[in-house]
Structure 1
Amino acid sequence: MAGVAQSQRSAQQGGVTRQIILPPAFQPADAGRRNMLLLTQLRWLAVGGQLATVAMVHFALGIDLPLLQLLMSTATLAALNIASHVLIASGTRFSDGALAAALLFDVVALTVQLSLSGGITNPFAALFLLHIVLGAVLLRPPYPWGIVVATLAALGLLAVDPTPLVLPANLPVSPATLYLTGGLVCFVLIAVLLVIFIGQISRNLRTHDAALAAVRQRAAEEDHIVRMGLLASGAAHELGTPLSLLSVAIGDWRAMPRLKGDAELQEELAEMDGAVQRCKAIVSGILLSAGEARGVAPQVTTMRAFLDDIVADYSASLVPGALRYDDCFGEDIAIVSDPALRQVIGTVIDNAAEVSPRAIAITARREGEALALEIADRGPGFAPEILDTFGQPYRSTKGRPGGGLGLFLLVNVLRKLGGEASAENRLDGGARVRILLPLAALAMEGRG
């Protein structure tokens, strides 16, 4: 929705350009931010672990450590984390190079800390493996190899003249036991961090797979709509000529002198002409929805007039008093009427009238910068399987060919306009379909 960066892809099929909107979770830039956030979370754990380890070794075991230098190194990591959070919150894109630089900074910080506390003999030197694993999972070649080279160089530097740990004479444990304990703590730390890290990566992959599945489903639905549109447009073109011939023939019959005096026949011819004109209007509506307006310009109107016209249209075909309309929209705005939107709203009203011909309620209100339109009935409600698959094609309990396309078209037309539709069963009986549509999709200012 609004405020979320979306990337778009276009594909040609059947001469029609399709536009696929990728969900935010599928965006490469968003993946970079998620990975940087993951690194900052692991770094906070490392900062906490370093402070706890320094406190235990220096104060509990009495081993003299260069506290100022070690705390400055830890503070630098914390400062890097704060800066990373600020950049993440600002929407900055993080490339593989940026992630590799962050990992290299961690390698340098760990090298400094180890050089101040025993060098390569420090059991926590095994933490370099964690950086290699992070680089191999998060980065594309050749960056992981750069991390490997950096860690090997760090180990080489640590082997040259490190600051030795001076163990006190009254140390409560032997140096061998202390080393083994440090190695065990290091192993547990690496294991815990890897479980947290791999778990987060797995969740990111599941999100990625779900987003990809949604894109594929949307592409399949849009392909279906394209085929339906082409079929409807072709049928409308084919029907246009015979309908025009019928209209001319009926006009000629009504003007024939020998038929003018037959009032009953004139009445039937008038009904036939009305039916033909109605069919021609339907054909024009199909072509208009398909983008072939046949010389008819888009209609400039207002939101209230647009809704009033739909309600009046359907009220005339229902039992008097069956349709109740509550206009709570508020201040009116100028819009360009969308024939496809009018058609799918009419489909919802038709569905409601089919199951509840004597009680239909339509409510229009303004919610922020969106139109909220609710169509409720007193019918039996939606079957559970329909609610579970709302908006998918050919999901219908009516048992007739082509059933379920109305709600499918509703969902897809609204999605094209940036809106959405939902359905629910009312507690006091019947069903309710809710349409939420951004006003900017129809407003005059947005149509240039």
Structure 2
Amino acid sequence: MTRLAAILKAWLAALTPAAGTAPDGGRVRQRTLVLIRWVAVIGQTAALVIVAVSLGYCLPVAPAFLAVGASVAVNLHAEFVRPGGEWLSERAAALYLGYDLLQLTFLLGLTGGLANPFAILILAPVTVSASLLSRTTTLLLATLAVVAASAIALVHLPLPWPGGLELPTLYILGNWLALVLAVLFIAVYVLALAREAQRRSDALAATQMALAREQRLSELGGLAAAAAHELGTPLGTIAVVARELATELPDDSPYKEDADLLVQESARCRDILDRLGRRPASDTGGPYNWLSLRGLVEAAATPYHRSGVRFEVRTDRNATGTEPTVPRSPEILHALGTLIHNAMRFASGRVDAVVGWNASDAWVTVRDDGPGFTSDILSRLGEPYISTGSSGADDPGQHMGLGIFIARTLLARTGGEVSFANRRPGAEVHVRWPRARLETGPASLSEAQPQ
């Protein structure tokens, strides 16, 4: 008896494999698959009771309930021995789903095989795998499902139809073919959709990281500009006193050299504070947070100037009215910087940023004289992981198309619409905002906007 208990315990442990403890190492929570199995147990039990008891059909009840009981035992072992919140590894999740597929196949073999209308449930484990697990695991489970469907099509206990009814072989063959095609469709189509959703999720996460980084840099710039403004007055006083001392002290005074040095160093401090005051500021308030649209483009382009490529910001000849005054939005700074950087990478010798505005809109067009976008890339620009460069470029993130995707996403958050086109020579990216939306910053900025 002890030996039998040990064998049963080992069997249960094999069916509930070790789970991971961190989301990074797992693909699905154990609780999710356990819950799915409980639903299956309830459904299988209800079907057996209704068919065997209520309808009075003669079925092999004992082995059928034994299969259901095995699932109950596996679930109880998983519930009480391993914490339900753990994350299953790829292998563990595959074993869970593989067991469910084999258990269902055994039940179907006892109850009519593919003549059983519940044979469609063979698709369930493959669907779960296609949604959550890797391509390799999904293909293995799909192969197992096809083998299982083929087995119960050939070997099964017949259903006790009234009057000794037998379903045509052609009908069973049709069911088998439909099931196999459905398995293959799910393995390919659902898997592709799941991977696309995962790529988009990763790209959105990268967008948030880029925005957070730009906000931190912008906050540092704002702090520097504010410090420069506040220190300017006392530094000016120090400079005046130092100049007066240097003027009044005689040339042979032992303090003359020190006074001259103080004048020089105060002038140097003034230059440093002037440079700090010209840096991009935070979008959290203050007079340093607003600038012209041209100034915003120049600030975005500053980190990306490239030797041998001339960059110029020009005003569109179609611009009318006064130039917009806009907030130093981290989203716009990062997005325009990415577009300008991309143009700099492929330009032969020139990149232009054309800035325009009218009463209702404002726009920025970034143009380069490079090779332009290829036709297959042009129609898909803005999607994540679409490369606009070659594998030898210097920014790996750009190869996945994340740079353009992030830029487009950030600009959309500010109300901007982005379009891509080719020109002769080169390419151009056009960004257009509703003027009122562009000139309206966050609430904390609205009060600080200069009149």
Higher RCO (CA 8 Å, separation ≥ 6 residues): 2
Normalised by the length of structure 1, the TM-score is 0.39
What TM-score does the superposition give when structure 2 sets the normalisation length? 0.39
